[in-house]
Amino acid sequence: MSQVDITAESGHAGLMEDSPYGIPSGKLAMWCFVISDAVTFSAVLFAYGYLRIGSPDWSTPFQFSPTILNGIGMTFILLSSSLTMLAAVEAVKAGRKSAGFGWLCATALLGALFAALHLVEWGRMIDEGWRLFQNPLGGSVHFGAAFFSITGLHLLHVVGGVCALAVIAVGYRRGGYNSIDVEVAGIYWHFVDLVWMFVFPLVYLMNVQ
Amino acid sequence: MSEAAHQHAEPTGFIRKYIFSVDHKVIGLQYIGLGIVAVVLGMILSWLMRLHLGWSTLAIPGLEKLSPAGAPGNVMTPEYYLSLMTMHGTLMVFFVLTNVPFAGFGNYFLPIQVGAPDMAFPRMNMMSFWVTFTAFLVLIAAFFVPGGPPLSGWTAYAPLSAVGQDAGPGEGWGQTLWALSIAIFCVAQLLGALNFIATTLDLRTKGMSLARMPFSTWAWFITSVIGLLAFAVLLPACVLLILDRTAGTSFFIPGGLVISDRLQAHTGGSPLLWQHLFWFFGHPEVYIAILPAIGIVSHILPAFLRRPLLGPRVLISCLAAIGFLSYMVWGHHMFVSGMNPFSAILFSVPTLVITIPATIATLLWIGSVYGARIRFTCASLFCLGFISVFISGGISGFFLAQPSIDTYLHATYFVVAHFHFVMGVAAIFGMFAGIYFWLPKMVGRMMNETLGKIHFWFTFVGVYCIFMPMHYLGLAGNVRRYAAFTDDYLAPLIPVHQFITIAALITGAAQFIFLFNLVWSRFRGPKATENPWQATSLEWSTTSPPPFDNFGGRQLVVHQEPYLYGVEGSAGDYVMQTSPETVEAR
Amino acid sequence: MGKAFGVVLIIITLVSTAVFIFHDFHGISLWLPVDASAHGHRVDHQLMETMYGSGLLFVLSQIMLGLFVWQASDRPEGWKYKIFPGGAKPMVISAILLVGIEILTLSFVGSKVWADIYLTPAAPEALPIDVQAGQFAFYFRYAGADGKFGALHAEKIDEGSGNFFGLDPRNDVAARDDVVVASLVIPVNRPILLTLHSKDVIHSFYVRELRIHQDIVPGLMIPLHFTATQTGRFEIVCTQLCGLGHYQMKAYLEVKTQEEFDKWLKDQEAAQ
């Protein structure tokens, strides 16, 4: 992956046509990935909406406490992690290595905390009898299917992001990754955050009792 | 640039050089190789199917060894017919029509045509091939699991595909492997599309402005944008299907189904949801198959007409318009599906509108043939043949785009004829043109023209004998996906099927001339020069085959439009893109 | 080579077109069967319009291609290419105009045909018939003397005892006189309203002579109405891949006169 990033940064002018967006290839590819991933999430959310409209017996099981409260906490944590990510990008751009490393670690930790809270939430729901194929309240079984698959897909992105951030943080400190790699990771992380801003209202708030 | 780009030294070990290679040229050849394996397999499956359709009690020697349950006494069972049909469709659509014209030729020539030393992300590129290869192995594994391959067709309509073993043999393990294979395939295509987009936008050499990119590069670029969005929908659809099959969810399965006398445990899902998700991918997929072929043909034609095509900008706009419209028409596959009949009208209009850019492109090709002196080679013959089959396949679109007529023709052989012509045969003609044109560049040897022309004539006449009669069968109301025609209405049509079968056997056999030519030329063909066709684009400005970094450490500078043929006042009748001479516009 | 290409292409075009035109070969009819429905002639008319328009495009463009390739074959070495009069412009304009007009007409007229068949409600006097599809047979249900259909219970479906619909006559009065048969018998010239549903996977209801085609989707009750205008016996076939017996899944549609139909229904009621 590194070969073109270097090309794009150095020695680009004069020998090659300018990239129409004036950004390194890694970033461009990440933006493309984000677009494609957004379509994937849209497809799953579309499926959720389609099935929900078709289910007259849809369950709305969530109560303000604990589920929504927990959700607000998770949202707050994820939003904060976007801020720390911004700080990390600023720091690495300015060349402040240890600060950049610190902010990256903070972002990864917040992400891990989000994932942990989410898993606790899942555990509680599973204890209550929710499954992919089962609704303890007797309503549409799609609730469990939609809830676990949508939040699961998002959780997969968070966990993947946390791992990537950890690798990049360590790599950045050792010099294996540069500021552009951090920025690219940042685009991904903000995207994961943005998706949550859709998932939270659609999957949580719209299912309050 | 060249120093910076060449962090990777040329690998020397066999494995790094030919197996896990990061070189886009090797990866391109790997895709083409995989495509050839898949196309031979798919064609043999179609032979078996055609034989069964012509003579449904015919014993095919050896078939029982292949599948004891599927062909007891060497006679195919109806369910085995459906399994073969499913595998034929899946192999052809995914592993041939997507892999060869797009991933195969695109990988090999896109970087060279824009003057780049490699793809933007070589390692990701390698991964993309090996993920595709994994998907292929998973699909082939379906032949060897209990129950055999799935029988729900390449469209895998739920609930047949979602409820498991009860729905029939092949709906157990086979169908799960199918869904898994397609999901893996989607991942590979996404990786590939990212790479294509980044390479086209970022790695163009000096002077290679977007307007100077060859048609083929444009087509691969537009195709990768389509693929980026289309496969992103099929991937979650396949995952949801796998969940329905293995985790007990009911996304695509409504309640109260009684299958094989068993009341199914699922409730509340929607079979139409699968169709919406599938066709939202499925229709753009048609263009993923055909746009690269259009690009390749438009790239090759000028070299043999010795003139630029009419309206190059218009042609590129047409490709982009087709790509854009492809996302608004998926519902035309669902006119009789039970969705709101009002939406049929909404989907019908943009479908008909697509015929406008398609017609413009066709007229531009035909108009370009006018007044030219054609050099008849295998490559140019296949290009001309492409135009003809593209017209034949496109025309039937007028019928199928209208819901009122589609109600009669839906799911008949008319549809089979339509999509085989327009996306199957047309894309395959593009591939043949590509191979005859580019093989000298790829392996450094010329192909045998006489064998190639024999191959062309058999193929060209053959495909018309196979697919034209299918239109008539469709008009007569001959339903597709039938293992045999047993009833009073369809039985009289069997002679037509027998004719088609014989044509398919002969045309298929003629493809072995091509395979022989390919292998023979690879080792015994006369050595190719750097630019055997006197063509202009960048791939002809390097040795045949190109060195590891494509241009031997040179950084090319592009001075010209891509197709300056028939130029007066130039030394030759053509001007290479890299040539610095001044050319007067004609 | 160019001459050969031109000749072969034009022969292919003419032969292909000729088969469309003559379409009857020693008992093999390669054309639509007789139209036996009230709306069918409009579908056929729309199909013919499209056939003329697109057939003309097909023949013209193939012959043009063949002709140009023929011409291009014996030009001398050093030939300076000629540009099509006007260049790309006439191509673009003619494509937009010709195809544009063609598709405008087709979509206006065609949408109207479609809307009249599929977007109109059935006539109030239409005869309601309930259709259940399953692997690999169709069953039809008439409401019987009370004019009411019994409720469906998936768990009661039992092919062995002939309870194909899952009726519950013990508890459900409306179900007791429902007439269940394996072929669709209808009176001629009377509107029919079918309600299509499936017990397992997607099937399809296709009667060529009625120019009617509708998928039968499990979980949905799909209404479909038509009027048959000719007596006779026609095939109803499944066109949506439904499993290994798909190719044999069919039933018969018998269109009878009103008197014959009434008698038939009475006999059925008496028999069940």
Confidence of residue B51 (pLDDT cuts 50, 70, 90): very high
Cross-strand partners of C213: C206
Say yes or no for a CB contact (<8 Å) between B202 and A1: no
Say yes or no for a CB contact (<8 Å) between C28 and B356: no
Confidence of residue C74 (pLDDT cuts 50, 70, 90): confident
pLDDT greater than 50 at residue C193: yes
Query: What does each C-alpha distance from A170 to A5, A173, B124, B279 come to in angstroms?
Result: 19, 5, 22, 44
Which superfamily is assigned to B16-253 in CATH?
A: Cytochrome c oxidase-like, subunit I domain (1.20.210.10)
A21 touches chain B (CB under 8 A): yes
How far does the CA of residue C190 sit from the closest CA of chain B (Å)?
22
Answer whether CATH 1.20.120.80 is correct for domain A79-209. Answer: yes
CATH code, domain carrying C177: 2.60.40.420
pLDDT greater than 60 at residue B184: yes
Write down which chains contact chain C via at least 3 CB pairs under 8 A.
B
| Chain A hits for B124, Cβ within 8 Å | 1
Nearest alpha-carbon partner for C253 in C48, C36, C44, C40 = C36
Other beta carbons within 10 Å of C127: 18
Say yes or no for a CB contact (<8 Å) between A36 and B268: no
Q: What average pLDDT does the segment B162-179 reach?
A: 92
Q: Scanning every residue of chain C, which has its alpha carbon at the shortest distance from the alpha carbon of B377?
A: C1
Say yes or no for a CB contact (<8 Å) between C65 and B387: yes
Say yes or no for a CB contact (<8 Å) between A15 and B5: no
How far does the CA of residue A200 sit from the closest CA of chain B (Å)?
20
Q: How many domains does the structure of chain C reveal?
A: 2
Q: What average pLDDT does the segment B14-30 reach?
A: 92
The span from the CA of C165 to the CA of C133, in Å, is: 9
**How do strand C191-198 and strand C127-134 relate by DSSP bridges?**
parallel
| Chain B hits for C20, Cβ within 8 Å | 471-472
The ipTM of this complex is: 0.96
| Chain B hits for C113, Cβ within 8 Å | 404
Say yes or no for a CB contact (<8 Å) between B209 and A3: no
Summarised one tens digit per residue, pLDDT across range B307-353 is: 999 999 999 999 999 999 999 999 999 999 999 999 999 999 999 99
Q: Scanning every residue of chain B, which has its alpha carbon at the shortest distance from the alpha carbon of A38?
A: B232
Within 149-208 of C, beta carbons closer than 8 Å to B belong to 154-155, 157-159, 166, 199-202, 204, 206, 208
Nearest CB to A32; choose among B8, B228, B280: B228
Confidence of residue C77 (pLDDT cuts 50, 70, 90): confident
When the pLDDT of each residue in chain B is averaged and rounded to a whole number, the result is: 93
* pLDDT for residue C141: 95
Q: Is the dihedral of CA B555, B558, B562, B563 positive or negative?
A: negative
Domain of residue C213: give its range. 127-271
* pLDDT for residue A2: 37
- Rg, chain B, Cα only: 24
pLDDT greater than 70 at residue A61: yes
- Determine the residue type at A89: V
* pLDDT for residue B384: 97
Question: Coil, strand or helix: which one is B480?
Answer: coil
The span from the CA of A16 to the CA of B36, in Å, is: 35
Nearest alpha-carbon partner for B116 in B5, B12, B226, B209 = B5
pLDDT greater than 90 at residue B3: no
Answer whether CATH 2.40.30.60 is correct for domain B296-524. Answer: no
Nearest CB to B160; choose among C84, C88, C243: C243
Confidence of residue C63 (pLDDT cuts 50, 70, 90): very high
Nearest alpha-carbon partner for C217 in C239, C236, C198 = C198
B165 touches chain C (CB under 8 A): no
* pLDDT for residue A14: 67
When the pLDDT of each residue in chain C is averaged and rounded to a whole number, the result is: 93
C113 and C161 part of one domain: no
**How do strand C203-207 and strand C191-198 relate by DSSP bridges?**
unpaired
Say yes or no for a CB contact (<8 Å) between B251 and A153: no
Nearest alpha-carbon partner for C236 in C200, C202, C201, C212 = C212
pLDDT greater than 50 at residue A3: no
Summarised one tens digit per residue, pLDDT across range B5-17 is: 445 677 888 888 8
Q: What is the DSSP string of B464-475?
A: HHHHHHHHHHHH
The span from the CA of C213 to the CA of B489, in Å, is: 17
Within 8 A by CB and 6+ apart from C263, the residues are none
Q: What is the DSSP string of B306-362?
A: TSPPS-HHHHHHHHHHHHHHGGG-GGGG-TTTTS-HHHHHHHHHHHHHHHHHHHHHH
Burial class (CB in 10 A: 0-12, 13-18, 19+), B552: exposed
pLDDT greater than 90 at residue B586: no
Other beta carbons within 10 Å of B244: 27
Say yes or no for a CB contact (<8 Å) between C84 and B310: yes
- Domains in chain A: boundaries: 79-209
How far does the CA of residue B149 sit from the closest CA of chain C (Å)?
13
Domains B16-253 and B296-524 in one fold: yes
Q: What average pLDDT does the segment B42-51 reach?
A: 96
Within 402-441 of B, beta carbons closer than 8 Å to C belong to 402-405, 407-408, 410-412
C241 touches chain B (CB under 8 A): yes
Summarised one tens digit per residue, pLDDT across range C222-271 is: 999 999 999 999 999 999 999 999 999 999 999 999 999 999 999 999 98
- Determine the residue type at A146: A
Helix (H) or strand (E) holding C132: strand C127-134
pLDDT greater than 50 at residue B40: yes
| Token representation of residue B570 | 């130039």
Contact between residue B513 and residue B458 where contact means Cβ atoms under 8 Å apart: yes
A37 touches chain B (CB under 8 A): yes
B276 touches chain C (CB under 8 A): no
Question: Which of B123, B246, B249 should be substituted to probe chain A, the one whose Cβ sees the most A Cβ atoms within 10 Å?
Answer: B249
- Domains in chain B: boundaries: 16-253, 296-524
Helix (H) or strand (E) holding B288: helix B271-305
Within 8 A by CB and 6+ apart from A48, the residues are A142, A146, A150, A202, A203
* SS3 per-residue string spanning B49-94: HHHHHHCCCCCCCCHHHHCCCCCHHHCCCHHHHHHHHHHHHHHHHH
| Chain B hits for C247, Cβ within 8 Å | 78, 481-486
C97 and C150 part of one domain: no
Q: What average pLDDT does the segment A47-65 reach?
A: 93
pLDDT greater than 80 at residue B471: yes
pLDDT greater than 80 at residue B90: yes
Question: Which of A2, A6, A16 should be substituted to probe chain B, the one whose Cβ sees the most B Cβ atoms within 10 Å?
Answer: A16
Q: What average pLDDT does the segment B100-127 reach?
A: 96
Phi and psi based region of residue A172 (left: phi greater than 0; alpha: psi -120 to 50; beta: remaining): alpha
What whole-number percentage of chain C has pLDDT above 70? 100
Within 8 A by CB and 6+ apart from B523, the residues are B445
Nearest alpha-carbon partner for C81 in B367, B297, B215 = B367
Q: Scanning every residue of chain B, which has its alpha carbon at the shortest distance from the alpha carbon of C243?
A: B168
**Placement of tokens 């120093």 in the chain:** B3
Cross-strand partners of B54: none
| Token representation of residue C70 | 């023929």
Summarised one tens digit per residue, pLDDT across range A11-22 is: 445 688 888 888
Burial C158-167 (b: 16+ CB within 10 A, else e): eeeeebbbbb
The span from the CA of B490 to the CA of B482, in Å, is: 10
Helix (H) or strand (E) holding C217: none
Burial class (CB in 10 A: 0-12, 13-18, 19+), B459: buried
B6 touches chain C (CB under 8 A): no
Q: Is the dihedral of CA A9, A13, A15, A20 positive or negative?
A: positive
Say yes or no for a CB contact (<8 Å) between A40 and B203: no
Say yes or no for a CB contact (<8 Å) between B408 and C47: yes
Say yes or no for a CB contact (<8 Å) between B460 and C8: yes
Q: What angle do CA B180, B183, B189 make, to 5 degrees?
A: 140
Say yes or no for a CB contact (<8 Å) between B369 and C46: no
C180 and C215 part of one domain: yes
Q: What average pLDDT does the segment C83-93 reach?
A: 89
Say yes or no for a CB contact (<8 Å) between A3 and B118: yes
| Chain C hits for B272, Cβ within 8 Å | 217, 220
Query: What does each C-alpha distance from C182 to C3, C165, C215 come to in angstroms?
Result: 59, 12, 19
Write down which chains contact chain A via at least 3 CB pairs under 8 A.
B
B244 touches chain C (CB under 8 A): no
